[in-house]
Structures are given as structure tokens and as C-alpha cells.
Amino acid sequence: MRMGTVTIASIVIGAIWGAIWMVVVGILLMLVTGITTSPPVAIAAVAGALAGGTCLFVEPEKRRKQRLIPLLALVAAALILTLSGLAPFGASLSGNVVQQLIALIVLAAILASSIYFCMDGFAAGAARRYRLELLLIRVLKGLAFVVFTVVVVLPFYVMVMTSLKSQQSLLSNPLDFSINVSQGFESLFRSYFELFTQYHFGTFLLNSAIVSVITVFITLFFAVPGAYAVARLRFPGQAFLSRSILLIYMVPAIVLVIPLYAVFSQAGLRNSLTGLLIVYPATTIPVALYMLQGYFRGLPAELEEAGLMDGLSRVGVIAKITMPLSLPALASVALYVFMIAWNEFLFAFMFLDDLDMFTLSRGVVSLNSSEVPRQHLMAGAVIATVPVLAIFLWFEKFLVAGLTAGSVKG
Amino acid sequence: MGALARREQRLAYTMLLPTFLVVFGVVLIPLLANFWISFKPVQLGDLRAATMLANEQLRPRPKVAGESVVLRYRIRNSSQQDPISGVTMRDALPFGLSLNLSDERCSLNENELFCDFGSIAAGGRFNLEIPATVDQNYLDSGERPRDSKAVFTGNSRNVLTSSEFTLDNFRRIFASDEFWAVLRVSLYYTIFGTLGALVLGLFAAQILNTAFKGRNVLRGLFLFPYVAPVIAVAFAWVLLLDAGPGGTLNAMLMQMGTIDGPVNFLGQRYIPISIFGFTINFPMALTTVIAFEAWRYFPLSFLFILARMQSISTDMYEAAEIDGATPLQQFWYLSLPQLLGILSVLFLLRFIWTFNKFDDIFLLTGGAAGTRTLTVDVYEQAFAVSNLGAGAAVAVVVFFVLLFFALIFFKFSPQDDG
């Protein structure tokens, strides 16, 4: 094998992937099975480096034919096993042989694939700057994939798994998220049952649904005519309005909360869903109006003019021509508004005192006390998250369109 | 102007009117009201206006018809600070109870008692006793004096509407040492939180820019932090970062041998870190909340940057490819300039929204351990210390700092892409 920049790069890349995947797989093994691992990162790096070097012994064109991935995986697995003294994840093999061997096979396979794809098309020896940068970008992208996925998923994983465990077992070993499936459905989801039977979560869920859905309808009812006027009708102040409507959104909620609290307290609106139904639409109407007017402007004006020629009134044109054409935009605005109202925390927290009035946001906060076990808090978080994530995944395309159309709020 | 144009104009105003009213009532008027409150010596308790309370009793308890009894009202002003003027009381009497009314403050109309007490001092209390007799109807009906509540009217001073103004709120907040620290923390949080979210979003957009299997799944996954409710993800982070037994991340790092003892990510103001012999005080809790901010809002910048990148034509890259530009050069000299517009717009919007952010820090640390921003301070002053006026004064500061940044941004922001 010729020495050169690519050769060195291949060895370094192998070492990096070895270390990264050892950490990820080792911790995953610990979280899933509860085996106390202490991943031997250095050993995995050495094994990865040797596998990276091995890769270059085969010409790039022949790698697929010679089944290089299994070969590299075998090399890596054998090296890790021998170097670690038959304790591939820093824990003795006895007892959990099957799980540890499966994890080792997975580790070796992804390590080998990572090296294979990074070095795809590169032969041993030296390379020019262009090719080296290509290599660098491949590695960085691969690392970014792993890091982003882990960082995004980890909190959600902890949230779901904690809700299924008991406080005692979590305190004794916080890394053991293994789920004992044999305990039965009822005992596994005990926290959820208790939240619904003892902590009024049925009411909270219903309140959240009522508030969010009504907010969506009120918002659309106000924003559709407003957006149409800004987009299509000529009147003094039109240009100013279409640009400044988003400024309303820059007003921080915390500045509004004190006066609204004072007025609502004296008017008896504070501890009621009606109070929320006054505040929520006021915060969502401007952004809905902004998103919709952008969409209305994109619709061909000729269609509406034809409608006007044929004797329809403006209102008739809106109802019979514009609205049916804007269904996708209406859907994405509705979803976006639903999301804002469902997730809203500040006003719900400030205004609601009665258990019967709590929305989910307010309800979950009330679980955050030392008297309520953690799995209940996390089960509450899951209950609040699942509906909005389900809706998001179901209508992802609409929501993404809505988010990008509005250049919107946080 | 033709009749048609005028009609169109009228229609437009009609269609916009509801939106105007809502925005006026719930955004603009409260904004002005906040200024008003910031000049008032108003405490949280003042929101409960002074009222009159009465407790009525018939003594002794009548047992036979014709018995003489006394109808007694114990009356008091609920407020210890504010007198009430023009107090009147109205109460319906039970059937079969007849009063021997001699008190000139009171009069009887059918079976309704009406009294005019004039002014009652703060914390004032007195008894109104009226001799009375009962007949058989009273004993039979079972209706008792307490069954109808005495209704009061009267005027008390309402601190919110009075003409009493003060600068104490502003004097108080500017005089405290804490205020400047809070302002500084706000700026750090806003600047680094915004930059963090932008940089993460830029990276995420880079790795998802090329098509591959499973890209849509990953794109959906990357949006989770933004779509999930803030309470859920904030508490998940609190548990994940817990320094006590049961904290997942600390246990993980200790298992890996990265740290010796648990790190209190959210509860420790400074952690001494020594680099090359120098010891610096690393602001731990502040860094953690900034990381949370970047984690939660990178999806938004990611979406916009990705959308912009996919609209860049590929011709340019092909030309650069032929000219021998390396991948990093292509990114630096082609992609970045193309993205500059959207990046600056995102920076502007995210900067303002991060500055406005309250929920995240409030749920993660409650403003403890050197993470108190101006918005959290509004809550602390108004509702934890119960000084509404001071809270409103901090809110005024928030508003003006925001206005200052908004003006700077709009002056220097690029005209396209907006």
C-alpha cells in the first residue's frame, strides 16, 4: 500500500468512526438493556484505524465485488474482541452474551459501512486538495448526521422512557431504560392511567382541544377577510398595512401580560377559557393574516375578475372562487395556529387557577413538584406532545409550507 | 374617485375592521396600559378592590310565633387601606319577619330593607341591630335571613384608575445592582441563542440539502424540538440534566469517565475551568439555557435555509466545478453569499423573538443561577415580589430595548428577501 495523504486520512477517519460508534452503540446498549457498559473508546478507535487502513488494500473498483463491508466488519469486531480481552463494551460477556454480541455485530457493521462510504472512490496514495476536501466534507456530514440525530432524539427518548419506569428504579440506575414488557399493559402504562383517573388529565386534554380548535376558527374568521382586503382591494394605507402587520408580532407577550392580568382579574375573565379565547386569537390573527395575504396575492386575479363580470359580488367571489382555491393555504395556517394555541404556556400559566380550567400546558406545570413522581411529569409531557406531533407528522407537508410561507414566530 | 373605487374602499375597511378591533383591544391598549401601570404604586393585592362584607343573624333563634328577636348585621370594609364612600346596602327579608325599624339610615319597602351608610373608613366595622318579631309563617316557611345575601354598592379608590402617579418603580429598578446584571444576561442569551440556532440550522440544512433515502424522515425528525410543546421539552431537559441521582446525562458522562462528579448544568452559576494554567469562570447555567434555545429553534432557521438553498440554481455550481473550485470554496464563495439575505432576515427575527422569550428560561431555571433575563424579571417583580408597578416598569424597559434594536435592524437590513 502506498503512503500519502489519503492513506493517513483513511486511518484517521477509521479511528474517528470507531470512537464515535463505540460511544453511540455502547450507550444505546446500556439504555436499552440496562447492562452497565463502559465503552472502551480508545480500543474502538484503534480497531477503526486498522479497518480504515485495510480498506485501502483493495482497489476502489473491486471493493463491492470483494464484499469489503463484511470483511472490514470482521476485522473490526475481531480486533475489538481481542484488544478488550473479550469485554467488547467494558462489561464482562457472562450473562448477557446474546445482547452484547448483537451490539458488537451492529457496531462492526456500521463502522465498516461508514468507512466504506467515506472512502468510496479513493485509492491509497496522495490526492489533490479538491479530493481531500471532498473526503473532509463526507466525514463532517456523517458526523453531523449522528450528532444531530442523537441530540434531537435523546430528550424525547428520555421523556417517553421515564414515563414508563418507576422513580425508584430510575434513581438506582438512571441509565437503565430497559422496559420489562412482561409486566403487562396496565402496569407499564400505570402513570398514564393515574394521570387520567386522579390528576384530571381528561379535562385538561379536553380544555386544550377546545381552546385550540376555537382559536383556529376565530383566527380564520377574522384573518381571511382581512387578508383578502390587504391582498386584493385598493384602499389608502394598503401598502403600509401589508408591511407593518408583522410588527404586531414583535410586541412581547410579557409586556401585555400585566395589564391583561389586571383587567381580566377585575372583569372576572381571568380564570376562564373565555379569557384565553380572547388573548390567543389576538396573537395569531396578525401572522395568519400575513401568511394568507401572501397566498391570495399569488392567485391569478383574472379568475376573480371573470367572476365579477359574471355578476358575482365581492363576497360571492371570495366564497365561491378564492376560498376553494386557497384550501391548502387555509390548512397550513390552521395547523400553524393550532400548534401555537396548543403549545401556549405563558397566558395559560398566568390566568388559570382552577383545575377544571387547566389546559395541558398548565396541567403539566402543576405536576412539577417534589410530591409528584417523575414518571407522572414525563407522562404528562408525553400526553401534551403526542397530539401535536401526530398532527404534525400527518400533515407535515402543509405545516412546513405554512412555516416557511409566514417567516414566522417562535 | 369613482363610486366603484369608493365602494371597494369601504368594503376593504369593513373586512379589516374586526382585525383592527381585536389588535387594538388586546395588543395596543394593553401596551399603553402597561406604560400607565409602570407609573403607579400598585401591588398585586390592589387588584382586589375594597368591598363591603356583611354577616347577618337572627338572635335569639325564634321558636314560637310572636317572639321578639333582633336582626343583626355585622358589617365591615374588607380593605385595611382604602375607605369606601356612598355605601348602600339592600337585602330581601324572609317572609313572616316584621321589623320595628327606628334607625333613620334604613327604610323598608315591602320586604326589602334599604340602608344608606355614607362613608366607611378603611378597616371599619360596625353592627346594625334591628328589633323584629316573627309570626307563624316565618316558622313554617323555613326561609332564613341568610338565604338572601345583602348587596352593597359604594365607591372605593381604585389605584389603577386614580390620578396617583410615581416614579418609584423606575427608580427602584434602575437603582438595584441586579438590573444591570439582568440586562447583560439578556443580551448574552439573545445574541448567543440566536447565533447558535442559526449556525445549527445552517449545518442541518447542509446535510439535508442533497437527496437521499430517508431524507423526509430526518427532516420531520429535525423539526420535533420546535413543534413539541415547550413545557414537554423543557421538563425533559431538566430531567436529562438533573445533577442529583437519576440525572441521565451526568450518569452517562460519569460512566464514560468524562467527568468525575455530577455537573449541576442548570443550577450552578459558574464552573471554574482551567485552560493552560489559567482558570476561567465558565457560566454554566447560562450556557445551558443558551444551548436549549439553540436546540429548540434551530429547526426554524433550518427550514428557511433549506428552502433557500433548494432554490439556488445548479448552473453556478457546475461552472465552479469546471473552474476547479473545491467543495469548501464553493460553499464559501457561492452558497454563503446566496444565503446572506435569508440569514440576516432570520437573525433579525430570531434576535427579537429570543429577546422576548420568557417560557424557556422560566421553565428551565426560573431565572436562578445567573440566568435571569429581563422578561423573567418582569414576572419576578410583578408576581413573585407582587409589585405590579415595578414589573410593568421592567416591561417598559423591555419594550424600549426592543424598539432600539428593531430600529437599528430596519436601518441596516438588506432591502431584498424581506
User: Looking at the complex, does the CB of residue B222 fall below 8 Å from at least one CB of chain A?
Assistant: yes
Joined together, the cell numbers standing for residue A6 give 489519503
User: Looking at the complex, does the CB of residue B407 fall below 8 Å from at least one CB of chain A?
Assistant: no
Q: Nearest-CA residue of chain A relative to B303?
A: A404
Residue A79: inside a domain: yes
The 10s digit of each residue's pLDDT in A232-244 is: 888 888 888 877 7
Among B243, B114, B31, which residue's Cα sits nearest to residue A263? B31
A24 close to A146: Cβ distance less than 8 angstroms: yes
Q: Give the confidence band of B262 by pLDDT, cuts at 50, 70, 90.
A: confident
Q: Looking at CA atoms only, how far is residue B313 from chain A in angstroms? A: 19
Per-residue pLDDT, averaged over B50-63, amounts to 81
Q: HSE (CB half, 13 Å, CA atoms) of B80?
A: 1
Last residue of some domain: A157, A182, A207?
A182
For residue A225, pLDDT beyond 60: yes
Q: Give the confidence band of B417 by pLDDT, cuts at 50, 70, 90.
A: very low
Same domain, A159 and A223: no
Last residue of some domain: A182, A217, A235?
A182
Place of cell 489533490: A128
User: Looking at the complex, does the CB of residue B18 fall below 8 Å from at least one CB of chain A?
Assistant: yes
Name the residue range of residue A389's domain. Answer: 192-406
For residue B239, pLDDT beyond 70: yes
The 10s digit of each residue's pLDDT in A49-99 is: 999 888 888 888 888 888 888 889 998 999 988 888 888 888 777 778 888
* Cβ pair B15:A289 closer than 8 A: no
Q: What is d(CA A276, CA A58) in angstroms, rounded to the nearest whole number?
A: 67
* Cβ pair A154:B18 closer than 8 A: no
Q: What is the ipTM of this complex?
A: 0.90
Q: What is d(CA A349, CA A355) in angstroms, rounded to the nearest whole number?
A: 12
Nearest to B303 among A259, A260, A400 (CB): A400
Which pLDDT does position B415 carry in this prediction? 53
Is the preceding omega at residue A252 within 30 degrees of 0, hence cis?
no
Q: What is d(CA A103, CA A83) in angstroms, rounded to the nearest whole number?
A: 17
Same domain, A170 and A203: no
User: Which of A32-36, A75-79, A286-290, B45-49 shows the lowest mean pLDDT across its residues?
Assistant: B45-49
Q: Looking at CA atoms only, how far is residue A296 from chain B in angstroms? A: 15
Per-residue pLDDT, averaged over B111-134, amounts to 85
Residue A187: inside a domain: no
Same domain, A228 and A115: no
Residue A30: inside a domain: yes
Residue A163: inside a domain: yes
Burial (0-12, 13-18, 19+ Cβ within 10 Å), A60: middle
* Overall residue count recorded for chain A in this entry: 410
Same domain, A40 and A90: yes
Mean pLDDT, rounded, of chain B: 86
Q: What is d(CA A260, CA A246) in angstroms, rounded to the nearest whole number?
A: 21
Residue A296: inside a domain: yes
The CA-to-CA distance between both ends of chain B, in Å, stands at 33
For residue B163, pLDDT beyond 90: no
**What does the buried/exposed string (b/e) look like for B298-312 if buried means 16 or more CB atoms within 10 Å of the residue's CB?**
bbbbbbbbbbbbeee
Contacts of A141 in chain B (CB under 8 A): 206-207
Q: Looking at CA atoms only, how far is residue A68 from chain B in angstroms? A: 22
* Cβ pair B27:A339 closer than 8 A: no
Q: Nearest-CA residue of chain A relative to B197?
A: A410
B395 close to B372: Cβ distance less than 8 angstroms: no
Same domain, A155 and A205: no
Q: How far is CA B120 from the centre of its chain?
A: 37
Same domain, A21 and A164: yes
> pTM of whole model > 0.90?
no
CA distances from B395 to A105, A167, B170 (A): 58, 40, 11
Residue A288: inside a domain: yes
Q: Which of A352-366, B132-146, B162-176, B250-264 has the highest mean pLDDT?
A: A352-366
Using a pLDDT cut of 70, give the percent of chain B over it: 98
Beta strands B84-92 and B112-120: pairing type?
A: antiparallel
* Cβ pair A403:B13 closer than 8 A: no
Name which residue leads in pLDDT, A209 or B261: A209
Per-residue pLDDT, averaged over A125-145, amounts to 87
Q: What is d(CA B22, CA A275) in angstroms, rounded to the nearest whole number?
A: 13
For residue A18, pLDDT beyond 90: yes
Same domain, A331 and A251: yes
Q: How many domains does chain A have?
A: 2
Nearest to B349 among A248, A266, A407 (CB): A407
Q: What is d(CA B57, CA B401) in angstroms, rounded to the nearest whole number?
A: 59
Name which residue leads in pLDDT, A201 or A166: A201
User: Looking at the complex, does the CB of residue B415 fall below 8 Å from at least one CB of chain A?
Assistant: no
Q: Give the confidence band of B205 by pLDDT, cuts at 50, 70, 90.
A: very high
Q: Nearest-CA residue of chain A relative to B19?
A: A222
Q: Give the confidence band of A218 by pLDDT, cuts at 50, 70, 90.
A: very high
Last residue of some domain: A150, A182, A214?
A182
Nearest to A222 among B22, B307, B350 (CB): B22
Q: What is d(CA B72, CA B285) in angstroms, rounded to the nearest whole number?
A: 61
Same domain, A175 and A197: no
Place of cell 484488544: A83
User: Looking at the complex, does the CB of residue B47 fall below 8 Å from at least one CB of chain A?
Assistant: yes
Same domain, A170 and A205: no
Angle at the Cα of B65 from the Cα atoms of B59 and B70, rounded to 5 degrees: 20
Same domain, A137 and A217: no
Mean pLDDT, rounded, of chain A: 87
For residue A346, pLDDT beyond 90: yes
**What does the buried/exposed string (b/e) look like for B226-264 if buried means 16 or more CB atoms within 10 Å of the residue's CB?**
bbbbbbbbbbbbbbbbbbeebbbbbbbebbbeeeeebbb
Beta strands B270-275 and B52-59: pairing type?
A: unpaired
Place of cell 395556529: A337
Residue A389: inside a domain: yes
Q: What is the CATH number of the domain that holds A210?
A: 1.10.3720.10
Q: What is d(CA A8, CA A124) in angstroms, rounded to the nearest whole number?
A: 9
User: Looking at the complex, does the CB of residue B259 fall below 8 Å from at least one CB of chain A?
Assistant: no
Residue A94: inside a domain: yes
Which pLDDT does position A89 carry in this prediction? 85
Which pLDDT does position A408 carry in this prediction? 44
Same domain, A171 and A319: no
Domains of chain B plus CATH, in order, are 50-156 (2.60.40.290), 170-412 (1.10.3720.10)
Same domain, A213 and A234: yes
Q: Give the confidence band of A409 by pLDDT, cuts at 50, 70, 90.
A: very low
Which pLDDT does position B418 carry in this prediction? 39
* Cβ pair B231:A381 closer than 8 A: yes
The 10s digit of each residue's pLDDT in B378-410 is: 999 888 888 888 999 999 999 999 988 888 877
* Cβ pair B221:A396 closer than 8 A: no
